[in-house]
Each structure stands twice: as structure tokens, then as C-alpha cells.
Amino acid sequence: MPRLRDKLSAALGRTPQAAPAADYLTLQPSPRTLVDRETGRYIPGWYETFDGVANVSDSSAPKGAFQTWYHLQIDHPERFIVLNLANVALASNVAILLYEKKTDTFEHVSLVRPFRAGLVSLSADLSRIEDSATGSWIQRKGDRVFFSLRAGHLRSEGEAQMAIGPEFVQVTGFHAGRGSFQRYGNLILTRGTLSIGDRTHVLEPGLPIASDQTAGHQRGLQHWHWLCTSGYAKNERTGERVPFGMQLSKDRERAVPRAVGHKYLLWLGGKLHKFANAEIDYRILSDKTRDTGPWTVRMWRDNPELSADIAIVPRAHRREKKSAILMDADFNQHYGELTGTVVVAGDRYVLEPSFTTLEDSRLEL
């Protein structure tokens, strides 16, 4: 299994501590394929789009290292809804998470099926992920995303359209033929429902949705921070109110090899901006529960002038911790309110409070 093989390789010094360097700060045209057919390696880079062949099967990495997931989150004035589908090599997951803002209550159903990763499958063109046990699925069609997920007494389905600006598309290279294709974006709900038991709520069109689609042959030793949010910002100089989205994904010290992909992103007024640097700070309140105090995040890029200073106050926390010979996971997903400011080309914008997902997680598979 990748975890045991990678731990042994790292202990013997055969796996580099740093992933191969690549230019992740220069936007490039779409590659023809995700994987170089001759070398079996992922083709790293930050891309305008991806309209090539999704030939992940040509990777020279072990087949057992393949993982894929799709994350959608809907920010409603009264509730925050998070939808997850995942295949992580040794396990599958379907999860629906619901935070009620008025009552400060949190409920979720997360179906983790160890050693049954095959329940969640991905189509060859990467357009559809589905879970055969619950009938849950998410599918891309052009500039639209359709979804229908069921987990226990919770269900959500609907349709959304891409908005705010271009998607973020990147291929990050690791080692031994491994790599990861990521597609982050922002959507606007066109129709949707949320069912809680026998009660069904209609979700109003126009709600902001943030998304993360990932597929690739992952490292056996993963450790990361991740942030995802969307909402509105106001230009202090002009008073203009514009939509924004923000995502951040950053390797932590126990990731081997550690990749610096500069996945620090801001969508504002229809444009996508990429930061070169990011710093994250927070205090763990309990080693037993992994609950945290407020988070602060700073991102910046000197040329052109571009920066973000934000704070997040966690309101709820989902933790899944499993340890076995073939698996060691400590997955922490926090949900809370984000505020702050961003500076773009000299203009300062104040972010209206929006709900966000934060991750502080380690996964060895």
C-alpha cells in the first residue's frame, strides 16, 4: 500500500522531501494531456483551462495511489450546506453537513466505508463522480454542475452555473509518476432543495457555491491546510459591491514530498488572482478534540500589489480519526465565519461576512 511503501522510502532517504520544482505562477494554455504518455508523469503547471485528454490511467504511479473527490458548499442566509463525495484509495465517503446559523446547531451524516473505495467512481473524462451505494452523484456539463446527494436523513439536489470568473486549473507534480489535477471554482445556484428527514426546503436561486474537484495519484503521506469560501466584497474607494471567492491549499510539514504549488487564490469582480505566499495561524485548544481558536490568514504577491488579510471564527467542527496498519487519518473540517480585507491593484475591498470551510488534516493511506 502507498502509505507503508512511502514511509519506508522516506525513512531510507529514497523519497525527496520536496516535490520537483515547476512554474506554478505563470498562467499557461491547456496541456494536451494530464500525463506525459512517454514518461508516465503528470504535466505540472497552472492552466487557463483544461480541454485535453484526461489520461490519468497513463500514470506510472501505483494504481492504488489514485484518489478523487468533489466538494460543494452552499452559503444560504440561514444555513451553510457542505456536500462531499470521495474515493481515497482505501475508503469511500459520502457526506452532507448542515450548520443552522440562527440556532447555532450543527448536524451531519458522513458515511465512511473503509476498504470500499470502489463504491465511489469517476468517469474517464472526469465529468461525473458517483456513489453506487447511495445513488449520490455530481456531474459537470459545460458551464453547469448538477448534483444529487443522499446521506442518512439528509439529501440535497440541484443545479448551478459557473460564475464570478474563470476556474482555477492546476496540475501539481509529486514523485514516482504521481500528481494531482485540481479544478477550483465558483457557482451560482439556479435551482436546489435540501431535505432533512421528511422536511424539504427550497433553496433560492442565486446562492453562492464554492467547489473543489480533485483527481490524481496522490502521495501516501499527506498533510495540509485548506480554506474555501465565497461571498461579496465592497470597494472602499468607489462603494462598488462585487462577488468574491477564495481558496487556499497548502502542504504542511508531514507531507512527503512537500509541494509548493502556490494554490492561494482570490476571485474578485470576474477575475482570478493568484498569490505567491500564504501564512496561516491559529491555536489548537485541545489536542484531544483538535478544536481551534480563531484563524488568521495572510496572502500576498508583491507585483502587482495584491494581498489579503482575513480572520475566521470556527462555529462547528467535524473530525474523523482512524488508525490502522494500512491507514492513519486525522481529518478535521472546521466551519465558521470569515471577515477581512483584500487589496487588488491598490484598491482595498472589505469582505462581507461569509461562511467558510477550513481543513487541518493528515492522511496516510
> Would you say residue 13 has pLDDT above 80?
no
Question: Does residue 6 fall inside a structural domain?
Answer: no
> Would you say residue 160 has pLDDT above 70?
yes
Number of domains in the chain: 1
Which residue type occupies 325? I
What is the structure's pLDDT at 304? 72
Question: Does residue 138 fall inside a structural domain?
Answer: yes
What is the structure's pLDDT at 183? 98
* CA-closest candidate to residue 278, choices 239, 252, 316: 252
> For residues 334 and 285, what is the distance between their CA atoms, to the nearest angstrom?
13
> Would you say residue 39 has pLDDT above 60?
yes
pLDDT digits (tens, 9 = 90+) for 329-361: 899 999 999 999 999 999 999 999 999 999 999
Question: Does residue 133 fall inside a structural domain?
Answer: yes
Question: Does residue 341 fall inside a structural domain?
Answer: yes
pLDDT digits (tens, 9 = 90+) for 316-333: 999 999 876 667 889 999
pLDDT digits (tens, 9 = 90+) for 205-250: 999 999 999 999 999 999 999 999 999 999 999 999 999 999 999 9
Which domain range does residue 235 map to? 16-364
Question: Does residue 5 fall inside a structural domain?
Answer: no
What is the structure's pLDDT at 109? 97
Question: Does residue 92 fall inside a structural domain?
Answer: yes
Question: Does residue 333 fall inside a structural domain?
Answer: yes
pLDDT digits (tens, 9 = 90+) for 58-110: 999 999 999 999 999 999 999 999 999 999 988 999 999 999 999 999 999 99
What is the DSSP-derived secondary structure letter of residue 163?
Answer: -
For residues 33-52, average pLDDT: 98
Length of the chain: 365
Mean pLDDT of the chain: 94
> Would you say residue 267 has pLDDT above 90?
yes
What is the structure's pLDDT at 15? 80
> For residues 65 and 16, what is the distance between their CA atoms, to the nearest angstrom?
18
What are the backbone dihedrals phi and psi of residue 20, each rounded to the nearest 5 degrees, phi first? -55, 140
Question: Does residue 275 fall inside a structural domain?
Answer: yes
Banded model confidence at residue 11, pLDDT cuts 50, 70, 90:
low
